[in-house]
Amino acid sequence: MQFLALFLLVAPVAYTLAAPDPTTICLPEKSSAYVFSLTDNRKANVSADFSQNKVAAVYDQGRRVSDLATNYTYMIDAAGACTRQPLPVLGFLTRCLPAKAVYLGTVFEGFVKKVSLDGWLIPVNQDTNVTLLTFTEPGQSNSYFVLRRDDSPRGQRITFVSNPVASVADSSVFNIPAVCPDSPAV
């Protein structure tokens, strides 16, 4: 009887432990990683600096800087010419997972030194979902996503993230040229 009472008390706690709080799954203040698409041939070195609320992707053909404070994305080509666009929903990126992220479960990788990855579904809006596999190193507070799938009216996009570091080697990737007109409507 005493055992049962204890079990009833502990069970909800165990359940809470199994489902992490999404708002505690956060990127470091500064980070960089190599990101490539599994659905097209795009690849980029992506850096994020949440002290200036900016994310920059450096491609072979130029840079794309997203300003999460103003919600504009700036495209800068190899010659330095710049145009800007309102940040699309697809550009959805925040330092921590939003509270509405739904925990899908945990999987592991590795035969011996197993690491766990957590699955999340973020219902961004009625026709856009983002599904993520996040990795938190044992004993560390910061996380990043290893795999990300965007399902939107524009189609499905899957990106793979590797070689993460908790720093930005060259902060000039975030620079936005003084002259950067709105890109013509498509």
Ligand X SMILES: *[C@@H]1O[C@H](CO)[C@@H](O)[C@H](O)[C@H]1NC(C)=O
Q: Which stretch binds ligand X (CB under 6 A): 53-61, 72-80, 106-114, 172-180?
A: 53-61
Judge contact between 98 and 21, C-beta under 8 A: no
Interface size with ligand X, residues (CB under 6 A):
12
Alpha-carbon distance of 171 to 51, in angstroms, equals 12
Give the alpha-carbon dihedral of 101, 95, 62, 129, to 10 degrees: 10
Judged by DSSP in three states, 13 sits in helix
Q: Which stretch binds ligand X (CB under 6 A): 17-25, 41-49, 137-145, 174-182?
A: 41-49
Tell me whether residue 44 or residue 75 sits nearer to ligand X (CB atom): 44
**Smallest gap, in angstroms, from Cβ of residue 141 to ligand X?**
24
Tell me whether residue 7 or residue 88 sits nearer to ligand X (CB atom): 88
In the list 21, 40, 77, 127, the residue contacting ligand X (rule: CB under 6 A) is 127
Q: Does 70 bind ligand X (CB under 6 A)?
A: yes
Distances (CA, A) of 25 to 42, 61, 98, 99, 137: 26, 32, 9, 10, 11
Q: Does 40 bind ligand X (CB under 6 A)?
A: no
Tell me whether residue 10 or residue 38 sits nearer to ligand X (CB atom): 38
Write the DSSP assignment of 31-59 as a string of letters.
EEEEEEESSSS-EEEEEEETTTTEEEEEE
Q: Does 138 bind ligand X (CB under 6 A)?
A: no
Judge contact between 57 and 35, C-beta under 8 A: yes
Q: Which stretch binds ligand X (CB under 6 A): 9-17, 42-50, 136-144, 178-186?
A: 42-50
Selection from 17, 25, 29, 24 nearest residue 143 by Cα: 25
In the list 24, 37, 71, 167, the residue contacting ligand X (rule: CB under 6 A) is 71
Tell me whether residue 58 or residue 158 sits nearer to ligand X (CB atom): 58
Interface residues with ligand X (CB under 6 A) are 43-45, 58-60, 70-71, 123, 127, 129, 151
